Every structure is written in C-alpha cells, then in structure tokens.
Chains A and B, each alone.
Chain A
Amino acid sequence: MANILTQNDIQHVDYKDVDLLKQFINPHGRMVSRKRGGLTAKQQRAVEAAVKRARFMGLLPYVQK
C-alpha cells in the first residue's frame, strides 16, 4: 500500500499544508515513525523539515495535551 505522498504524486512538502502534515503526527503532536507512516526515507526527511517549520510558525503544536 503506497503512502499518501506517493499516491498523489507530491514531490515537495509545504509547511503550510497543515492538513497534510497532520497525517504524519500523532494526537500528542509528535511525528509518527517512518515504519508507521509508510514513507520513504527522502519523504520522511521532507515531512520532518515541514513539520518543524510549521511548529515554529505556530501552525502546528510542539506538544498537544
């Protein structure tokens, strides 16, 4: 089963796509593992960078209670 990025042919992950990034964070706001998210190593790095930018800009939480 291909992941959501591969399925939709998404080459670049934008930090403003909060709904897309929410697919890769758990209810506590932490990133899900590559094994669970089913991403390639390259995609995981791109999502990781985007999540960190989104957190810094207050679009995503660092921690969610």
Chain B
Amino acid sequence: MLECALHMTDDVSVIQKDDNSPESLLRIYEVGYHIIPTVKEEDIEGVVASIRTVIEKAGGSFIAEGAPVLMKLSYAMTAREGDKNVQYDRGYFGWIKFESSVEASETLNEALKADRTILRHIIFRTVREETRARMKIPTLREVRRTDVIKPAPHHVEDTSIAVSEVDLDKAIETLTTD
C-alpha cells in the first residue's frame, strides 16, 4: 500500500515535471520569407544559413525546408533601403519548418525584422505533418503558350465524274417531262 502510494506520488511528480520541462513547451513553427531580388544568386545560401543559425542557436531543430525561388509577387512590396523606400515586385521565396520554444520563435522574428535582406517574413504555428496538398488541381484546359494551334486540313473529295453532254441533256429532259 505504501509502495503503491509512493508510486502514485512518483507518477504525479513525473507528470508535473513533464509539464514544466522545456521539452513540453516546444512547438512546431513555420517561417516563410522573401529575400530581396537584388541579392546575388550565390549569396542567397548565406542569407538562409543566417536564418538557420538563429534557429539553431535558440535551441530549435529543423523539420522541413523549401529552398528560396525567385518569384513574381502579386503586388509590389516596399522595403526601406537607407533613407528611401524601394518597391520590389519580385522576391526569393523560401520557408523552413522547425520545432522550438516560444522564446526562440520570438528571437527569430526580431532577427528577421532587423535583417535588411529580408523583404517580408511570416512565422506561425503549424503541425509536424506535411501540410502541402498532394493533389493536382483540376484546370479547365491546358494549352502551352508555345503551342501553335493549326487549323485542321480541309479535305475536299473530288466527286465529280465526267458526264457527257448527251447524258446531261437526257437527264434534263426526264426532269422537265416529270
């Protein structure tokens, strides 16, 4: 009985310890970012590495990652460069899914805000599982821009048969007599 009670108290303490341990406060986050298009192609890796370093230093671990790809934005975004505003209509879009504490995500947010090469970023809570849809979205029709639509060749079959004038006259006569 005493042993059982001890076990019970042990269990409770274990649960309480779990709730307060830093491991239990780890959450899954995803960061999406746009790097300004003026950054050279070879320097992109360095910018991503700096983001990864911030996460790693704060005790985060990586789950998945999408490499930055240059894409056209739906609207122009303004970034402060020196003492003037510059508008960009393109950006290198990349994302990282990671597991970390709340504090680490806040640290990353501050680091990205201060980074001048980051045009815009977003950090939000997500789930560990893959969230991308694996389906192909149905489209009405697929026409490649390079394709040239050629009109179908118009076949006219030559059905005319040589008819003699005598036969023609006879046919007309039969028609008129009727």
Contact = CB atoms under 8 A, between A and B. Distances in A.
Interface of A: 8, 10-17, 19-20, 22-23, 53, 55-62
A19 to B, nearest CB: 4
Contacts, number: 53
Given A12-B127, A61-B75, A62-B75, A56 B132 contact: no
Given A53-B122, A57-B120, A14 B77 contact: no
Nearest to A14: B131
A59 B134 CA distance: 19
Interface string B77-95: 1000000000000010101
26 contacts: A8-B133, A8-B135, A11-B129, A12-B126, A12-B127, A12-B129, A13-B131, A14-B132, A14-B133, A15-B32, A16-B66, A17-B132, A20-B133, A22-B137, A23-B137, A53-B122, A55-B74, A56-B120, A56-B122, A57-B34, A57-B120, A57-B122, A58-B75, A58-B77, A59-B93, A62-B75
Contacts of A57: 32, 34, 93, 120, 122
